[in-house]
Amino acid sequence: MSSSETSELTERILKYLEGVEQVDSLRLAEELGIEHQLIVGAVKSIQAHGERLLHVEPVTRKSLELTEEGQEVAQNGSHEANVFASVPEEGIKRTDLLASGGASVCLDRSVEPPLVRRKVSAIRDPVLDHLLQLSELSASDVVEFKRLVQEPTIESLLLSKGPEFGTALAKLATDLTMDMLTSGEWEELPFKPYNFDALGAVPARGHLHPLLKMRSEFRQIFLEMGFAEMATNNYVEPSFWNFDSLFQPQQHPARDAHDTFYVKQSTGSRGYGYNWQLIEAEKNLLRTHTTAVSARTLYQLATRPNGFKPAKFFTIDKVFRNEALDATHLAEFHQVEGVIANVDFTLGDLIGTLQELFRKLGIEELQFKPTYSPYTEPSMEIYCYHSGLAEWLEVGNSGIFRPELVLPMGLPPGVNVLAWGLSLERPTMIKYGINNISDLVGPRVDLKMVEDGPICRLDHN
Ligand code: PHE
């Protein structure tokens, strides 16, 4: 209600009171055709002008009314009377009578004999009589009929004129201005009392995007599991770290083949046997996966001055792909990547780690499907069961890095590197019930969605 609407209503209330001794606010609401809550609000604002204008006395009353079931009985008769009415003169089988619904409320299921007959030809229905005359119910009737009648407490205000009653309200000052101070007017002016119960205005502030909320949850879980965060502050990588270091061949439409790639014999691999070109590896690109970061980090791990030490790394950051856009794909998205380098680690360790990671995310059921990837062998797609959607969803890829990748880095023989990549958008869309990726990222994002989005809580345990 605007302040001019309130002052119009306070005026109507005072005008009404002018002509009567006293009036109950509920009655007044009816008379003026205004919601009771609004009347109560307007009375409060009249009271702000001082105690002596209006006398206001809170009153509580109880009044009887029918419950939903009571209304049904008042219309169709009591359940008992209805059972009686369903018994024909020749009698009815107990089971048939019970099947008629209402009877089960009144009849003991074990009633014998199996045939139910009328003993009298007609009955009175005292329950119905009582309900039709609510005002005559005694306190004990009210208790007895507690399913049929209820007695809510009704609160209202009894209004009457105070010793300084008047129909016009002076406008109360709300702000103390410099003019009031310099003119001395402030000494005379009636001020509106300060409302210490008013809710403060919510200050404008920044809000975290759902993807960032999801990212901090993932990050927390990785840190709990002892992973260190990799530096991912460069979107641009030379093709070398993005492809070549990961043993991805250069026979890609965007790459030319000229030079010969001399593979280190120590890997025992014959490589792809194609012409490898340095210039192709030097081309800059927007990284297509965070595995480029893993590759560079592994190289740093292998060339540490104090020698190799087992390590676990993660990163959650942006990657870019030049692909067709649709409801679930954009040209950029986030990957959640994990890498573990340790001596004699196996596929079992990879499965166990992924199970633990997902368990901390609140997902217990995982399935793995063998797949192909140029840099991992064996490789597994990761599927998780989403109980809300009741389906298996592909959530990422994983595997053990090939020796063709690990040995040229300089990692000691016997060290295995387990790795996986997940999407951040997918779990965020599921968690926040967003069906179209352009509602989550890009120019069509509703900032209100970002502002109102709940915090992200995954089941850490
Ligand atoms: N880089 C892969 C992708 O972009 C994910 C992956 C990471 C797979 C590490 C295996 C190991 O889908």
Which of 316, 373, 424 most suits a substitution to test ligand 1, by most atoms within 8 Å of the C-beta?
Answer: 373
- By three-state DSSP, how is residue 126 classified? helix
The reply to whether ligand 1 has any atom less than 6 angstroms from the CB of 428 is no
Which of 241, 289, 400, 416 most suits a substitution to test ligand 1, by most atoms within 8 Å of the C-beta?
Answer: 289
Looking at per-residue pLDDT, the higher value among 127 and 431 belongs to 127
Q: Do the bridges between strand 228-229 and strand 54-62 make them parallel or antiparallel, or are there none, so unpaired?
A: unpaired
At residue 200, the pLDDT reads 84
Distance, in Å, from the CA atom of 109 to the CA atom of 124, rounded to the nearest integer, reads 24
Which tokens hold the place of 146? 């507690």
Q: Does position 262 have pLDDT exceeding 60, yes or no?
A: no
At residue 201, the pLDDT reads 86
At residue 268, the pLDDT reads 64
Mean pLDDT lowest among 226-230, 323-327, 351-355, 415-419? 323-327
At residue 355, the pLDDT reads 94
The pLDDT tens digits for 416-428 are 999 999 999 988 8
* Ligand 1 atom having least distance to the Cα of 288: 4
The pLDDT tens digits for 72-88 are 988 988 888 888 888 88
Q: Does position 188 have pLDDT exceeding 60, yes or no?
A: yes
Distance, in Å, from the CA atom of 88 to the CA atom of 115, rounded to the nearest integer, reads 11
Distance, in Å, from the CA atom of 232 to the CA atom of 419, rounded to the nearest integer, reads 16
The reply to whether ligand 1 has any atom less than 6 angstroms from the CB of 232 is no
The reply to whether ligand 1 has any atom less than 6 angstroms from the CB of 26 is no
Q: Confidence band (pLDDT; 50, 70, 90) for 112?
A: low
User: What is the CA(210)–ligand 1 centre distance, in A?
Assistant: 23
325 CB-near residues (< 8 Å, 6+ apart): 331
Q: Which residues share a beta bridge with 367?
A: 383
The pLDDT tens digits for 48-61 are 887 888 899 999 98
Q: Does position 382 have pLDDT exceeding 90, yes or no?
A: yes
Question: Could you tell me where the DSSP H helices lie in 189-277?
Answer: 210-224, 239-242
Contacts of 13-17 with C-beta under 8 Å, sequence gap 24+, read 13/39, 13/42, 13/43, 13/46, 13/159, 14/46, 14/54, 14/165, 14/166, 14/167, 14/168, 14/169, 15/167, 17/54, 17/159, 17/160, 17/161, 17/165
The residue among 290, 172, 185, 281 whose CA lies nearest residue 232 is 290
DSSP code for 199: P
Q: Does position 459 have pLDDT exceeding 70, yes or no?
A: no
At residue 80, the pLDDT reads 86
45 CB-near residues (< 8 Å, 6+ apart): 6, 10
Q: Where are the domains of the chain?
A: 3-63+152-187, 65-150, 210-452
The pLDDT tens digits for 395-416 are 899 999 999 999 999 999 999 9
At residue 110, the pLDDT reads 64
Q: Does position 108 have pLDDT exceeding 70, yes or no?
A: no
89 CB-near residues (< 8 Å, 6+ apart): 118
Identical fold, 3-63+152-187 and 210-452: no
Q: Does position 276 have pLDDT exceeding 50, yes or no?
A: yes
Candidates 3.40.50.1820, 3.30.930.10, 3.40.50.150, 3.30.70.580; correct CATH number of 210-452?
3.30.930.10
Handedness of CA 214, 217, 218, 219 (dihedral sign): positive
Which residue's CA is minimally distant from atom 2 of ligand 1?
A: 421
The reply to whether ligand 1 has any atom less than 6 angstroms from the CB of 297 is no
Q: Does position 394 have pLDDT exceeding 50, yes or no?
A: yes
CA 418 to chain centre: 34
Q: Do the bridges between strand 65-66 and strand 149-150 make them parallel or antiparallel, or are there none, so unpaired?
A: antiparallel
The reply to whether ligand 1 has any atom less than 6 angstroms from the CB of 427 is no
At residue 192, the pLDDT reads 83
User: What is the CA(422)–ligand 1 centre distance, in A?
Assistant: 8
The residue among 351, 352, 356, 387 whose CA lies nearest residue 370 is 351
At residue 263, the pLDDT reads 28
Mean pLDDT of 366-382: 94
Of all residues in the chain, what percent carry a pLDDT higher than 70?
92
Q: Does position 458 have pLDDT exceeding 50, yes or no?
A: yes
CB-based contact 134:66 (threshold 8 Å): yes
At residue 320, the pLDDT reads 87
Distance, in Å, from the CA atom of 19 to the CA atom of 412, rounded to the nearest integer, reads 100
Mean pLDDT lowest among 48-57, 261-270, 426-435? 261-270
Phi, psi at 288, each rounded to 5° = -90, -15
Mean pLDDT of 273-277: 82
Residues in the chain, how many?
461
CB-based contact 323:276 (threshold 8 Å): no
At residue 234, the pLDDT reads 81
In this structure, the number of other CB atoms found within 10 A of the CB of residue 92 comes to 19
CB-based contact 287:204 (threshold 8 Å): no
Distance, in Å, from the CA atom of 126 to the CA atom of 388, rounded to the nearest integer, reads 52
Question: In the CATH hierarchy, which fold is given to the domain comprising 3-63+152-187?
Answer: Ribosomal Protein S8; Chain: A, domain 1 (3.30.1370)
ipTM of the complex: 0.95
The reply to whether ligand 1 has any atom less than 6 angstroms from the CB of 289 is yes
The pLDDT tens digits for 295-317 are 999 999 999 999 899 999 999 99
At residue 255, the pLDDT reads 38
Helix, strand, coil in percent for the chain, rounding step 5: 35, 20, 40
Looking at per-residue pLDDT, the higher value among 414 and 277 belongs to 414
Looking at per-residue pLDDT, the higher value among 322 and 155 belongs to 155
The pLDDT tens digits for 220-237 are 999 999 999 998 878 888
DSSP code for 121: S
At residue 252, the pLDDT reads 52
The residue among 378, 381, 457 whose CA lies nearest residue 422 is 381
254 CB-near residues (< 8 Å, 6+ apart): none
The pLDDT tens digits for 3-47 are 777 778 888 999 999 989 899 999 999 999 999 999 999 998 888
Question: Could you tell me where the DSSP H helices lie in 148-248?
Answer: 178-183, 210-224, 239-242
Average per-residue pLDDT for the chain: 85
Distance, in Å, from the CA atom of 224 to the CA atom of 307, rounded to the nearest integer, reads 26
Q: Does position 461 have pLDDT exceeding 50, yes or no?
A: no
Q: Confidence band (pLDDT; 50, 70, 90) for 259?
A: very low
In this structure, the number of other CB atoms found within 10 A of the CB of residue 157 comes to 21
The residue among 317, 313, 287 whose CA lies nearest residue 212 is 317
Which tokens hold the place of 77? 């008769």
Which range among 80-94, 186-200, 216-230 has the greatest average pLDDT? 216-230
CA 429 to chain centre: 11
409 CB-near residues (< 8 Å, 6+ apart): 245, 295, 298, 299, 302
